[in-house]
A and B are shown apart, each in its own frame.
Chain A
Amino acid sequence: MIALGFESSCDETSVAVLEDDRTLANLVSSQDFHKKYGGVVPELSSRAHLARVAPLTRDALVQAGVELADVDLIAATAGPGLIGALLVGFTFAKGLAVAERKPFVPVNHVEAHFFSGFLMDEKPEYPFLALAVSGGHTMLVLVEDELTLTRLGGTVDDAAGEAFDKGAKTLGLPYPGGPNIQKTAERGDPERYPFPIAELKSKYDFSFSGVKTALLRQVQILRTGNDPLAEETVADLAASYQRSIVEALIRKTDAAIAEFAPKSVSLVGGVAANKPLREAFTRTTAARGAKAVVPSIQYCGDNAAMIAWRGLALHRAGERFSNEYRPFPSFQSRYARDYSDNPR
Protein backbone atom coordinates (compact mmCIF):
# COMPACT_ATOMS: atom_id res chain seq x y z
CA MET A 1 0.00 0.00 0.00
CA ILE A 2 1.17 3.50 -0.80
CA ALA A 3 0.52 6.26 1.76
CA LEU A 4 0.87 10.01 1.43
CA GLY A 5 1.57 11.67 4.80
CA PHE A 6 1.34 15.28 6.00
CA GLU A 7 2.84 16.92 9.07
CA SER A 8 2.27 20.55 10.08
CA SER A 9 1.80 20.54 13.85
CA CYS A 10 4.39 23.18 14.70
CA ASP A 11 7.25 24.83 12.80
CA GLU A 12 7.93 22.18 10.18
CA THR A 13 5.92 21.39 7.09
CA SER A 14 6.63 17.88 5.85
CA VAL A 15 5.19 15.60 3.18
CA ALA A 16 6.17 11.96 2.71
CA VAL A 17 5.37 9.03 0.45
CA LEU A 18 5.63 5.53 1.89
CA GLU A 19 5.20 2.12 0.32
CA ASP A 20 4.48 -0.08 3.33
CA ASP A 21 7.59 0.29 5.52
CA ARG A 22 9.71 1.81 2.79
CA THR A 23 10.18 5.57 2.55
CA LEU A 24 9.97 6.74 -1.08
CA ALA A 25 10.17 10.44 -0.16
CA ASN A 26 10.29 12.38 3.11
CA LEU A 27 10.62 16.13 2.54
CA VAL A 28 10.94 18.47 5.53
CA SER A 29 10.62 22.21 4.91
CA SER A 30 13.53 23.44 7.05
CA GLN A 31 15.92 20.92 5.55
CA ASP A 32 14.83 20.44 1.97
CA PHE A 33 13.10 23.68 1.25
CA HIS A 34 15.09 26.52 2.71
CA LYS A 35 16.77 27.22 -0.58
CA LYS A 36 13.42 27.91 -2.19
CA TYR A 37 11.87 29.86 0.65
CA GLY A 38 14.94 31.39 2.31
CA GLY A 39 15.28 30.61 5.99
CA VAL A 40 16.75 27.58 7.72
CA VAL A 41 15.19 28.35 11.08
CA PRO A 42 11.70 26.89 11.21
CA GLU A 43 9.10 29.62 11.14
CA LEU A 44 6.15 29.85 13.43
CA SER A 45 3.54 30.71 10.89
CA SER A 46 0.42 29.25 9.33
CA ARG A 47 1.12 31.34 6.24
CA ALA A 48 4.48 29.62 5.85
CA HIS A 49 2.80 26.19 6.03
CA LEU A 50 0.28 27.37 3.45
CA ALA A 51 3.00 28.51 1.04
CA ARG A 52 4.93 25.25 1.38
CA VAL A 53 2.37 22.48 1.48
CA ALA A 54 1.39 22.27 -2.22
CA PRO A 55 4.92 22.50 -3.69
CA LEU A 56 6.20 20.02 -1.07
CA THR A 57 3.44 17.57 -2.07
CA ARG A 58 4.34 17.89 -5.77
CA ASP A 59 8.05 17.45 -5.06
CA ALA A 60 7.48 14.46 -2.77
CA LEU A 61 5.35 12.66 -5.38
CA VAL A 62 7.93 13.38 -8.11
CA GLN A 63 10.79 12.18 -5.93
CA ALA A 64 8.85 9.02 -5.04
CA GLY A 65 7.95 8.42 -8.69
CA VAL A 66 4.31 8.06 -7.70
CA GLU A 67 1.17 9.57 -9.25
CA LEU A 68 -1.55 10.83 -6.96
CA ALA A 69 -3.84 8.19 -8.48
CA ASP A 70 -1.48 5.42 -7.21
CA VAL A 71 -1.78 6.58 -3.60
CA ASP A 72 -3.94 4.21 -1.50
CA LEU A 73 -4.32 6.31 1.63
CA ILE A 74 -3.77 9.83 2.92
CA ALA A 75 -2.72 10.52 6.52
CA ALA A 76 -2.23 13.83 8.34
CA THR A 77 -1.31 15.04 11.80
CA ALA A 78 -4.51 15.94 13.67
CA GLY A 79 -2.71 17.12 16.81
CA PRO A 80 -1.39 17.93 19.28
CA GLY A 81 -0.09 21.19 17.90
CA LEU A 82 -0.93 24.76 17.02
CA ILE A 83 -4.42 24.94 15.57
CA GLY A 84 -3.47 27.36 12.77
CA ALA A 85 -0.53 25.20 11.69
CA LEU A 86 -2.44 21.92 12.03
CA LEU A 87 -5.37 23.22 9.98
CA VAL A 88 -3.17 23.87 6.93
CA GLY A 89 -1.70 20.38 6.50
CA PHE A 90 -4.80 18.62 7.77
CA THR A 91 -7.30 20.48 5.57
CA PHE A 92 -5.07 20.18 2.51
CA ALA A 93 -4.70 16.43 3.09
CA LYS A 94 -8.40 15.90 3.74
CA GLY A 95 -9.28 17.91 0.65
CA LEU A 96 -7.02 15.68 -1.46
CA ALA A 97 -8.53 12.57 0.10
CA VAL A 98 -12.09 13.68 -0.63
CA ALA A 99 -11.31 14.82 -4.18
CA GLU A 100 -9.35 11.65 -5.00
CA ARG A 101 -11.72 9.35 -3.06
CA LYS A 102 -8.96 7.93 -0.87
CA PRO A 103 -9.29 6.82 2.75
CA PHE A 104 -8.21 9.56 5.14
CA VAL A 105 -6.49 8.79 8.47
CA PRO A 106 -6.02 11.45 11.17
CA VAL A 107 -2.84 10.71 13.14
CA ASN A 108 -1.69 11.66 16.62
CA HIS A 109 1.74 13.28 16.26
CA VAL A 110 3.21 11.87 19.49
CA GLU A 111 1.95 8.35 18.71
CA ALA A 112 3.62 8.60 15.31
CA HIS A 113 6.94 9.36 17.06
CA PHE A 114 6.60 6.22 19.22
CA PHE A 115 6.38 4.03 16.10
CA SER A 116 9.08 5.83 14.10
CA GLY A 117 11.50 2.92 14.67
CA PHE A 118 9.49 0.95 12.10
CA LEU A 119 10.89 3.23 9.39
CA MET A 120 14.30 1.63 9.99
CA ASP A 121 15.56 -1.67 8.57
CA GLU A 122 16.03 -2.98 12.10
CA LYS A 123 12.51 -2.67 13.55
CA PRO A 124 11.15 -2.76 17.10
CA GLU A 125 9.50 -5.99 18.26
CA TYR A 126 6.32 -5.96 20.34
CA PRO A 127 6.02 -5.32 23.19
CA PHE A 128 8.40 -2.39 23.04
CA LEU A 129 9.17 0.54 25.26
CA ALA A 130 9.52 3.98 23.66
CA LEU A 131 11.27 6.98 25.16
CA ALA A 132 10.11 10.03 23.20
CA VAL A 133 12.25 13.12 23.73
CA SER A 134 11.93 16.36 21.81
CA GLY A 135 11.59 20.10 22.27
CA GLY A 136 7.94 19.71 23.14
CA HIS A 137 7.62 16.18 24.55
CA THR A 138 9.23 13.84 27.02
CA MET A 139 7.34 10.61 27.47
CA LEU A 140 7.86 6.97 28.35
CA VAL A 141 5.33 4.59 26.84
CA LEU A 142 4.84 0.83 26.61
CA VAL A 143 3.55 -0.35 23.24
CA GLU A 144 1.95 -3.80 23.19
CA ASP A 145 0.65 -3.59 19.64
CA GLU A 146 -0.50 -0.96 17.18
CA LEU A 147 -3.67 -0.20 19.14
CA THR A 148 -2.57 -0.80 22.74
CA LEU A 149 -0.32 1.73 24.43
CA THR A 150 0.31 2.51 28.08
CA ARG A 151 1.64 5.92 28.98
CA LEU A 152 4.04 5.24 31.85
CA GLY A 153 5.09 8.81 32.52
CA GLY A 154 5.99 12.19 31.10
CA THR A 155 7.43 15.52 32.04
CA VAL A 156 5.60 17.57 34.65
CA ASP A 157 7.24 20.78 33.45
CA ASP A 158 9.91 21.31 30.77
CA ALA A 159 10.57 18.84 27.96
CA ALA A 160 14.12 17.47 27.67
CA GLY A 161 14.79 19.39 24.46
CA GLU A 162 13.49 22.55 26.06
CA ALA A 163 15.85 21.99 29.01
CA PHE A 164 18.75 21.75 26.55
CA ASP A 165 17.67 24.95 24.76
CA LYS A 166 17.16 26.96 27.93
CA GLY A 167 20.38 25.64 29.49
CA ALA A 168 22.27 26.69 26.36
CA LYS A 169 20.79 30.17 26.64
CA THR A 170 21.86 30.41 30.30
CA LEU A 171 25.40 29.42 29.27
CA GLY A 172 25.44 31.94 26.41
CA LEU A 173 25.61 29.20 23.77
CA PRO A 174 23.93 29.80 20.40
CA TYR A 175 20.76 28.17 19.02
CA PRO A 176 20.13 25.27 18.59
CA GLY A 177 20.79 24.46 22.25
CA GLY A 178 21.06 20.67 22.19
CA PRO A 179 23.86 20.29 19.63
CA ASN A 180 25.80 23.21 21.14
CA ILE A 181 25.60 21.86 24.69
CA GLN A 182 26.80 18.49 23.39
CA LYS A 183 29.70 20.08 21.50
CA THR A 184 30.76 22.28 24.45
CA ALA A 185 30.36 19.39 26.90
CA GLU A 186 32.92 17.28 25.01
CA ARG A 187 35.69 19.40 26.57
CA GLY A 188 34.15 19.49 30.03
CA ASP A 189 34.04 17.41 33.22
CA PRO A 190 30.54 15.96 33.76
CA GLU A 191 31.32 15.32 37.46
CA ARG A 192 32.36 18.91 38.20
CA TYR A 193 28.91 20.18 39.23
CA PRO A 194 26.47 17.76 40.88
CA PHE A 195 23.18 18.95 39.35
CA PRO A 196 20.02 17.36 40.71
CA ILE A 197 18.02 14.53 39.18
CA ALA A 198 14.37 14.90 40.13
CA GLU A 199 12.60 12.07 41.90
CA LEU A 200 8.85 12.36 41.57
CA LYS A 201 5.82 10.80 43.20
CA SER A 202 5.01 8.98 40.01
CA LYS A 203 8.13 6.95 39.30
CA TYR A 204 8.18 7.30 35.50
CA ASP A 205 7.57 11.05 35.46
CA PHE A 206 10.29 13.56 34.62
CA SER A 207 11.02 17.09 35.78
CA PHE A 208 13.68 19.32 34.26
CA SER A 209 12.84 22.70 35.74
CA GLY A 210 14.92 21.95 38.87
CA VAL A 211 18.12 21.28 36.95
CA LYS A 212 17.47 24.35 34.80
CA THR A 213 17.20 26.52 37.91
CA ALA A 214 20.25 24.83 39.50
CA LEU A 215 22.32 25.69 36.43
CA LEU A 216 21.12 29.27 36.58
CA ARG A 217 22.07 29.59 40.27
CA GLN A 218 25.49 28.03 39.62
CA VAL A 219 26.14 30.51 36.83
CA GLN A 220 25.14 33.40 39.10
CA ILE A 221 27.51 32.14 41.82
CA LEU A 222 30.43 31.68 39.40
CA ARG A 223 30.04 34.96 37.59
CA THR A 224 31.93 37.87 39.07
CA GLY A 225 30.79 41.24 37.84
CA ASN A 226 30.10 41.43 34.16
CA ASP A 227 32.91 39.15 33.04
CA PRO A 228 31.83 36.18 30.97
CA LEU A 229 32.56 32.72 32.39
CA ALA A 230 35.86 31.09 31.48
CA GLU A 231 35.66 28.66 28.58
CA GLU A 232 36.59 25.66 30.77
CA THR A 233 33.91 26.59 33.29
CA VAL A 234 31.25 26.74 30.56
CA ALA A 235 32.44 23.35 29.28
CA ASP A 236 32.23 21.82 32.79
CA LEU A 237 28.77 23.33 33.34
CA ALA A 238 27.54 22.06 29.97
CA ALA A 239 28.94 18.57 30.62
CA SER A 240 27.44 18.38 34.13
CA TYR A 241 24.10 19.72 32.94
CA GLN A 242 23.93 17.29 30.02
CA ARG A 243 24.89 14.43 32.31
CA SER A 244 22.03 15.25 34.68
CA ILE A 245 19.43 15.31 31.88
CA VAL A 246 20.74 12.12 30.24
CA GLU A 247 20.97 10.35 33.61
CA ALA A 248 17.34 11.23 34.45
CA LEU A 249 16.12 9.87 31.10
CA ILE A 250 18.21 6.70 31.34
CA ARG A 251 17.43 5.93 34.98
CA LYS A 252 13.67 5.87 34.36
CA THR A 253 14.02 3.99 31.10
CA ASP A 254 16.14 1.37 32.86
CA ALA A 255 13.56 1.01 35.64
CA ALA A 256 10.81 0.57 33.05
CA ILE A 257 12.80 -2.09 31.15
CA ALA A 258 13.32 -3.93 34.45
CA GLU A 259 9.60 -3.78 35.32
CA PHE A 260 8.03 -4.52 31.93
CA ALA A 261 10.71 -6.62 30.19
CA PRO A 262 10.01 -5.34 26.66
CA LYS A 263 11.59 -7.09 23.67
CA SER A 264 12.78 -3.80 22.19
CA VAL A 265 13.36 -0.29 23.41
CA SER A 266 13.15 2.65 21.03
CA LEU A 267 14.59 6.14 21.49
CA VAL A 268 12.62 8.62 19.39
CA GLY A 269 12.17 12.38 18.88
CA GLY A 270 14.59 15.21 18.13
CA VAL A 271 16.69 14.85 21.31
CA ALA A 272 17.54 11.28 20.22
CA ALA A 273 20.21 13.01 18.12
CA ASN A 274 22.19 13.68 21.34
CA LYS A 275 25.22 11.41 21.24
CA PRO A 276 25.77 10.77 24.98
CA LEU A 277 22.05 9.96 25.28
CA ARG A 278 22.18 7.53 22.35
CA GLU A 279 25.27 5.84 23.80
CA ALA A 280 23.89 5.54 27.33
CA PHE A 281 20.58 4.32 25.90
CA THR A 282 22.22 1.61 23.79
CA ARG A 283 24.38 0.50 26.75
CA THR A 284 21.50 0.32 29.20
CA THR A 285 19.23 -1.51 26.79
CA ALA A 286 21.92 -4.06 25.93
CA ALA A 287 22.68 -4.65 29.63
CA ARG A 288 19.01 -5.58 30.12
CA GLY A 289 19.05 -7.91 27.13
CA ALA A 290 16.59 -5.90 25.03
CA LYS A 291 17.03 -4.71 21.45
CA ALA A 292 17.72 -0.98 21.04
CA VAL A 293 16.11 0.79 18.09
CA VAL A 294 17.13 4.39 17.46
CA PRO A 295 15.75 5.89 14.23
CA SER A 296 18.14 7.82 12.01
CA ILE A 297 18.17 11.61 12.31
CA GLN A 298 15.68 12.22 9.46
CA TYR A 299 13.04 10.26 11.41
CA CYS A 300 13.89 11.72 14.85
CA GLY A 301 12.77 15.29 14.17
CA ASP A 302 9.24 16.13 13.06
CA ASN A 303 8.61 14.40 9.74
CA ALA A 304 5.73 13.14 7.64
CA ALA A 305 7.15 9.64 7.03
CA MET A 306 6.20 8.66 10.58
CA ILE A 307 2.71 10.13 10.04
CA ALA A 308 2.26 8.09 6.87
CA TRP A 309 3.52 4.96 8.66
CA ARG A 310 1.10 5.42 11.54
CA GLY A 311 -1.74 6.10 9.09
CA LEU A 312 -1.00 2.82 7.27
CA ALA A 313 -0.76 0.90 10.53
CA LEU A 314 -4.12 2.20 11.78
CA HIS A 315 -5.74 1.44 8.43
CA ARG A 316 -4.29 -2.09 8.39
CA ALA A 317 -5.60 -2.60 11.93
CA GLY A 318 -9.10 -1.86 10.63
CA GLU A 319 -9.47 1.68 11.95
CA ARG A 320 -11.67 3.93 9.77
CA PHE A 321 -12.32 7.64 10.15
CA SER A 322 -15.03 10.02 9.02
CA ASN A 323 -14.22 12.85 6.65
CA GLU A 324 -15.82 15.11 9.24
CA TYR A 325 -12.80 14.63 11.50
CA ARG A 326 -11.20 17.90 12.62
CA PRO A 327 -7.75 18.71 13.98
CA PHE A 328 -7.51 19.07 17.72
CA PRO A 329 -4.75 21.16 19.39
CA SER A 330 -4.63 19.10 22.59
CA PHE A 331 -5.25 15.74 20.88
CA GLN A 332 -4.87 12.93 23.43
CA SER A 333 -4.00 9.49 22.12
CA ARG A 334 -7.19 7.43 21.88
CA TYR A 335 -5.16 4.20 22.09
CA ALA A 336 -3.09 5.05 25.18
CA ARG A 337 -4.18 4.54 28.72
CA ASP A 338 -2.41 5.93 31.76
CA TYR A 339 -0.25 3.75 33.92
CA SER A 340 -0.86 3.97 37.62
CA ASP A 341 1.76 3.38 40.31
CA ASN A 342 -0.94 2.35 42.73
CA PRO A 343 -3.42 0.07 40.99
CA ARG A 344 -6.47 -0.34 43.19
Chain B
Amino acid sequence: MKSEETITTRDEVETAEAARRLARLFTPGTFAALIGDLGAGKTFFVRAVAETLGARGVSSPTFAIVNEYQGDWRIYHLDYYRVESADELYDVGVEEYFADPEAICFVEWADKFPETLPARRVEIELEPNEAGGRTIRVRRYE
Protein backbone atom coordinates (compact mmCIF):
# COMPACT_ATOMS: atom_id res chain seq x y z
CA MET B 1 0.00 0.00 0.00
CA LYS B 2 1.24 3.43 -0.87
CA SER B 3 -1.08 5.67 1.09
CA GLU B 4 -4.22 5.69 3.17
CA GLU B 5 -6.52 8.59 3.89
CA THR B 6 -9.73 8.80 5.91
CA ILE B 7 -12.47 11.31 5.17
CA THR B 8 -15.44 11.77 7.49
CA THR B 9 -18.60 13.42 6.19
CA ARG B 10 -21.72 14.48 8.08
CA ASP B 11 -24.36 14.18 5.37
CA GLU B 12 -25.08 13.33 1.73
CA VAL B 13 -24.04 16.77 0.54
CA GLU B 14 -20.59 16.42 2.13
CA THR B 15 -20.24 12.86 0.81
CA ALA B 16 -20.96 14.08 -2.72
CA GLU B 17 -18.45 16.89 -2.23
CA ALA B 18 -15.79 14.39 -1.09
CA ALA B 19 -16.52 12.29 -4.19
CA ARG B 20 -16.14 15.35 -6.44
CA ARG B 21 -12.77 16.19 -4.87
CA LEU B 22 -11.53 12.63 -5.39
CA ALA B 23 -12.81 12.64 -8.99
CA ARG B 24 -10.20 15.22 -9.94
CA LEU B 25 -7.50 12.64 -9.26
CA PHE B 26 -9.07 10.11 -11.63
CA THR B 27 -7.61 9.81 -15.12
CA PRO B 28 -7.86 7.10 -17.80
CA GLY B 29 -6.41 3.87 -16.43
CA THR B 30 -7.61 4.56 -12.88
CA PHE B 31 -9.19 1.50 -11.28
CA ALA B 32 -11.41 2.15 -8.28
CA ALA B 33 -12.64 -0.70 -6.06
CA LEU B 34 -15.73 0.23 -4.03
CA ILE B 35 -16.18 -1.61 -0.74
CA GLY B 36 -19.11 -1.38 1.68
CA ASP B 37 -22.31 -3.13 2.75
CA LEU B 38 -25.78 -2.83 1.26
CA GLY B 39 -26.88 0.81 1.57
CA ALA B 40 -23.33 2.09 2.20
CA GLY B 41 -23.71 4.42 -0.77
CA LYS B 42 -21.42 2.85 -3.38
CA THR B 43 -23.61 3.71 -6.37
CA PHE B 44 -24.21 7.21 -4.96
CA PHE B 45 -20.47 7.73 -4.67
CA VAL B 46 -19.75 6.47 -8.20
CA ARG B 47 -22.51 8.68 -9.58
CA ALA B 48 -21.03 11.76 -7.89
CA VAL B 49 -17.56 10.96 -9.25
CA ALA B 50 -18.82 10.10 -12.74
CA GLU B 51 -20.95 13.24 -12.99
CA THR B 52 -17.92 15.31 -12.08
CA LEU B 53 -16.19 13.60 -15.01
CA GLY B 54 -19.03 14.60 -17.33
CA ALA B 55 -20.99 11.33 -17.46
CA ARG B 56 -24.79 11.25 -17.31
CA GLY B 57 -27.37 8.55 -16.62
CA VAL B 58 -25.37 6.72 -13.97
CA SER B 59 -27.44 4.03 -12.23
CA SER B 60 -26.89 0.76 -10.41
CA PRO B 61 -25.16 -1.95 -12.50
CA THR B 62 -26.26 -4.74 -10.13
CA PHE B 63 -28.43 -6.43 -12.72
CA ALA B 64 -26.49 -5.58 -15.86
CA ILE B 65 -23.10 -6.34 -14.16
CA VAL B 66 -21.46 -3.67 -16.37
CA ASN B 67 -22.70 -0.19 -17.27
CA GLU B 68 -20.74 1.96 -19.67
CA TYR B 69 -20.86 5.76 -19.76
CA GLN B 70 -19.15 8.39 -21.84
CA GLY B 71 -17.95 11.47 -20.01
CA ASP B 72 -14.64 13.25 -20.48
CA TRP B 73 -13.39 9.68 -20.72
CA ARG B 74 -14.96 6.28 -21.07
CA ILE B 75 -16.23 4.93 -17.75
CA TYR B 76 -16.98 1.29 -16.90
CA HIS B 77 -19.17 0.79 -13.85
CA LEU B 78 -19.21 -2.82 -12.69
CA ASP B 79 -20.92 -4.59 -9.81
CA TYR B 80 -19.93 -7.98 -8.36
CA TYR B 81 -23.01 -8.17 -6.09
CA ARG B 82 -24.90 -10.70 -8.21
CA VAL B 83 -21.82 -12.58 -9.38
CA GLU B 84 -21.23 -16.02 -7.88
CA SER B 85 -17.71 -16.93 -8.96
CA ALA B 86 -14.55 -15.41 -10.42
CA ASP B 87 -15.07 -17.74 -13.39
CA GLU B 88 -18.27 -15.93 -14.25
CA LEU B 89 -16.33 -12.67 -14.25
CA TYR B 90 -13.70 -13.98 -16.63
CA ASP B 91 -16.52 -15.26 -18.83
CA VAL B 92 -18.10 -11.80 -18.82
CA GLY B 93 -14.72 -10.48 -19.92
CA VAL B 94 -13.82 -8.19 -17.02
CA GLU B 95 -10.13 -8.33 -17.94
CA GLU B 96 -10.87 -6.53 -21.19
CA TYR B 97 -12.65 -3.73 -19.36
CA PHE B 98 -9.82 -3.45 -16.83
CA ALA B 99 -7.14 -3.43 -19.53
CA ASP B 100 -8.71 -0.54 -21.48
CA PRO B 101 -6.13 2.28 -21.12
CA GLU B 102 -8.68 4.90 -22.24
CA ALA B 103 -11.19 4.13 -19.50
CA ILE B 104 -11.79 4.57 -15.79
CA CYS B 105 -13.18 1.50 -14.00
CA PHE B 106 -15.38 1.41 -10.93
CA VAL B 107 -16.19 -1.93 -9.34
CA GLU B 108 -18.81 -2.22 -6.60
CA TRP B 109 -18.50 -5.14 -4.14
CA ALA B 110 -14.93 -5.51 -5.43
CA ASP B 111 -13.80 -7.33 -2.26
CA LYS B 112 -15.95 -10.34 -3.20
CA PHE B 113 -13.34 -11.42 -5.76
CA PRO B 114 -10.05 -9.71 -4.85
CA GLU B 115 -8.14 -12.08 -7.14
CA THR B 116 -9.71 -10.36 -10.15
CA LEU B 117 -8.54 -6.85 -9.20
CA PRO B 118 -5.48 -5.19 -10.74
CA ALA B 119 -2.57 -4.65 -8.34
CA ARG B 120 -2.53 -0.95 -9.05
CA ARG B 121 -5.82 0.40 -7.77
CA VAL B 122 -7.62 2.79 -5.46
CA GLU B 123 -9.82 1.18 -2.83
CA ILE B 124 -12.69 3.26 -1.51
CA GLU B 125 -14.37 1.84 1.56
CA LEU B 126 -17.67 3.42 2.61
CA GLU B 127 -19.27 3.05 6.02
CA PRO B 128 -22.30 4.91 7.42
CA ASN B 129 -21.37 6.83 10.60
CA GLU B 130 -23.28 8.10 13.63
CA ALA B 131 -23.53 11.62 12.23
CA GLY B 132 -25.57 10.37 9.25
CA GLY B 133 -22.70 10.78 6.81
CA ARG B 134 -20.03 8.35 5.71
CA THR B 135 -16.56 7.38 6.85
CA ILE B 136 -14.59 7.06 3.63
CA ARG B 137 -11.27 5.22 3.63
CA VAL B 138 -9.20 5.73 0.52
CA ARG B 139 -6.29 3.33 0.03
CA ARG B 140 -3.92 3.49 -2.89
CA TYR B 141 -2.05 0.43 -4.07
CA GLU B 142 0.80 0.69 -6.56
- Given known A45-B88, A83-B93, A84-B92, contact A209–B63 (CB-CB < 8 A): no
| A80 interfacial by beta-carbon distance below 8 Å | yes
B75-102 vs A, Cβ < 8 Å mask (1 yes, 0 no): 0000000111000100111000000000
Task: Indicate if the CB atoms of A44 and B93 lie closer than 8 Å.
Answer: no
State which of B39, B47, B67 has its C-beta within 8 Å of the C-beta of A330. B67
Task: Indicate if the CB atoms of A330 and B68 lie closer than 8 Å.
Answer: yes
A158-169 vs B, Cβ < 8 Å mask (1 yes, 0 no): 110110011001
Task: Indicate if the CB atoms of B91 and A10 lie closer than 8 Å.
Answer: no
A40-75 vs B, Cβ < 8 Å mask (1 yes, 0 no): 000011110000000000000000000000000000
Question: Chain B interface mostly helix, strand, loop or mixed?
Answer: loop
The chain B residue with its CB closest to the CB of A165 is: B62
B interface residues, how many (CB within 8 angstroms) = 25
| A147 interfacial by beta-carbon distance below 8 Å | no
Task: Indicate if the CB atoms of A155 and B91 lie closer than 8 Å.
Answer: no
**Using Cβ atoms and an 8 Å threshold, which residues of chain B touch A329?**
66, 68
A interface residues, how many (CB within 8 angstroms) = 32
A17-53, CB < 8 A from B = 44-47
The chain A residue with its CB closest to the CB of B12 is: A210
* Cα-based distance from A312 to B93 in the complex (angstroms): 32
State which of A45, A157, A161, A330 has its C-beta within 8 Å of the C-beta of B63. A161
The chain A residue with its CB closest to the CB of B70 is: A330
* Cα-based distance from A283 to B12 in the complex (angstroms): 36
Task: Indicate if the CB atoms of A158 and B62 lie closer than 8 Å.
Answer: yes
Task: Indicate if the CB atoms of B93 and A84 lie closer than 8 Å.
Answer: yes
B19 to chain A, nearest CB (A): 14
- Given known A213-B39, A216-B39, contact A156–B47 (CB-CB < 8 A): yes
| B25 interfacial by beta-carbon distance below 8 Å | no
Task: Indicate if the CB atoms of A209 and B39 lie closer than 8 Å.
Answer: yes
The chain A residue with its CB closest to the CB of B93 is: A84
| B13 interfacial by beta-carbon distance below 8 Å | no
* Cα-based distance from A11 to B22 in the complex (angstroms): 35
Task: Indicate if the CB atoms of B64 and A10 lie closer than 8 Å.
Answer: yes
* Cα-based distance from A169 to B62 in the complex (angstroms): 14
B45-64, CB < 8 A from A = 47, 57-60, 62-64
Q: What are 25 A-B pairs at a CB distance below 8 A?
A: A10-B63, A44-B82, A46-B91, A46-B93, A80-B64, A82-B65, A83-B66, A84-B91, A84-B93, A134-B63, A135-B62, A135-B63, A136-B62, A155-B59, A155-B60, A156-B58, A158-B59, A158-B62, A159-B59, A209-B44, A209-B60, A212-B38, A212-B39, A213-B39, A330-B69
Question: Given A84-B91, A170-B38, 4 more contacts at CB 8 Å?
Answer: A136-B63, A156-B59, A159-B60, A330-B68
